[in-house]
Amino acid sequence: MRVSTPHLGNLHLTLEDLFRRLGCEYVKPPPTSTKTLQLGAKHSPEFACLPLKINVGNFIEALELGADTLIMAGGHGPCRFGYYGIVEERILRDLGYDFEFLMLEPFGDGKRAFYRTFAAISPGLTVRKLWKILKVSFSKGRAYDRLSKRSLQVRAYEANQGDTNRALKAAEELLLLADSPEEIEAAEVEALGLIEAVQQDPERDVLKVGIVGEFYLLLEPFSNFGIEEVLGNMGVYLERTVWVTDWIAPNRNNYIYGYPKKLVKQKAAPYLDQNVGGEGQETIGGIVLFAERGFDGIIQLLPFGCMPENIATSIIPKVQRDHDIPVLTLAFDEQSGRAGMITRVEAFYDLLRARRGSRAAIA
């Protein structure tokens, strides 16, 4: 059995670990590229959101590599994501591929179905064993997230451009080899050490920017043209609202992000007191939280036509006025280009700089 799933940021590192423990072969789709996106966009409905198009591209490339079982996460709405799997399966079958398709529905929607999906790819799996495996792999996923969170902050201060990237790569490799829970813990300490060891310039005057928006766009650097790295290289300290392990964790305490969902919802309530699916409320709540902490600006990322984010975008002007914080909204689709993103980000950076200058002058 050759199992594959679509890419999502660094999730493949965790999945590699998970599938090895489950004893099945993991066909890692080739890294998402322009070709992947073109393949996906060609076969997907025109105004389906960007993540679906990239997913389809990933699946096609994985099938070409010989994958015979595809797994896709599910959900129960109201965002489109929960129905992605069904549509993707239909598209791939219409293209003539032959494969086994498994939808992994959230644990909360049925424990038995959740277990069966894993049992289908790993014969002889018991519930107890699955739980144990998930726990270890998940802790590894947490470690990856903590590393990338720290690297977002260190990059703003790095003395030599590129050092953080190299350190992060080495750190991730260290974790890759760790097996037992103890080893993972030890590897994480060592890996974090590597990132801290990056030579920093503490004197640098950095801007603080919060990144909010739709989860795929925040987690997958390909889809946003590596906006975090671009900003980091300009010397911008970054925090973001969505992390992959926060998102798949059974509780919503958001240990990586730092603010539990309940608090985020409370902050969003004056503007959007209703879960609209996706990250709609998290985006609004995130802006309020960042603004309260004195961030210089916010960047919102979304795939073109994303319903929950469009609701948030419609409300943002009011949040922006009330909290006096600039927000840059960037929507991406298969037509977007890197140069366009960079121009807008640079202009936003200049605006934030000027704003800080004029504020200092008044004070």
Residue 93 or 359: which CB sits closer to another protein?
Answer: 93
Give the number of residues written for the chain.
Answer: 363
Q: How far is the CB of 308 from another protein (least distance, A)?
A: 6
Whether cis (ω within 30° of 0) applies to the bond prior to 181 is no
Nearer to another protein, 133 or 341 (CB): 341
Q: How far is the CB of 117 from another protein (least distance, A)?
A: 13
Binding region for another protein (CB under 8 A): 45-49, 52, 74, 76-80, 82-87, 89-91, 94, 103, 271-278, 280, 304-308, 310-311, 313-315, 317-318, 331
Q: How far is the CB of 73 from another protein (least distance, A)?
A: 13
Token reading at 128 = 């107890």
* Residue 265 backbone phi and psi in degrees, to 5: -65, -40
Residues 6+ apart with CB under 8 A from 33: 222
For residues 54 and 85, is the Cβ–Cβ distance under 8 A?
no
Beta carbon nearer to another protein, 188 or 279: 279
Rounded CA gap, 164 and 198, in Å?
6
Residue 56 near residue 91 (C-beta atoms within 8 A) = yes
Complex with another protein: residue 317 or 357, whichever CB lies closer: 317
CB of 93 to another protein, least distance (A): 9
Nearer CB in complex with another protein: 255/304:
304
Q: Which is nearer to another protein, 69 or 313 (CB)?
A: 313
Strand partners, 100: 69
| Least spacing, CB of residue 101 vs another protein, in Å | 9
Please state, in angstroms and as integers, the Cα–Cα distance from residue 173 to each residue in 14, 126, 176, 193, 232, following that order. 12, 30, 5, 14, 22
Contact status, residue 280 vs residue 309, Cβ threshold 8 Å: yes
What minimum distance in Å lies between the beta carbon of 223 and another protein? Answer: 17
